Amino acid sequence: MSLSVDPPAESSDGPYQSYGRFDPLDAKHILERFEKQGVRFQIADASGLFPSGSVFYYPPIRIIRGNYIEIFVHRDDSQKAQKIISEV
């Protein structure tokens, strides 16, 4: 699901910290749970890291990478966010 598996590092430049880059379908499930639990978040298009339609070959399997969404969570909601992400 996430391309980032380590817990996010503290951000000194604002109240939001990155929780990783997710496939849009996975992000949808996470964000729905965030809304229900009152977790403050922001999102950004992270597709530039893996351009849409990029193809990576791992013989004999061809893997196509698509778009990604980066999720940022308010530092005061980090415990709730980590719990939700670990359950998805």
Domain ranges of the chain: 16-87
Tell me the C-alpha distance between 20 and 2, whole Å.
6
Q: Can you give the pLDDT at residue 78?
A: 94
Residue carrying structure tokens 């977790």: 39
Cα dihedral 36, 45, 4, 57 in deg (nearest 10): 130
Q: Which of 29, 20, 33, 17 is nearest to 74 (CA)?
A: 17
CATH number belonging to domain 16-87: 3.30.70
The mean per-residue pLDDT over the stretch 67-86 comes to 93
Q: Can you give the pLDDT at residue 1?
A: 42
pLDDT bracket for residue 49 (50, 70, 90)? low
Residue 61 has pLDDT above 90, yes or no: no
3-state secondary structure 44-64: EECHHHCCCCCEEEECCEEEE
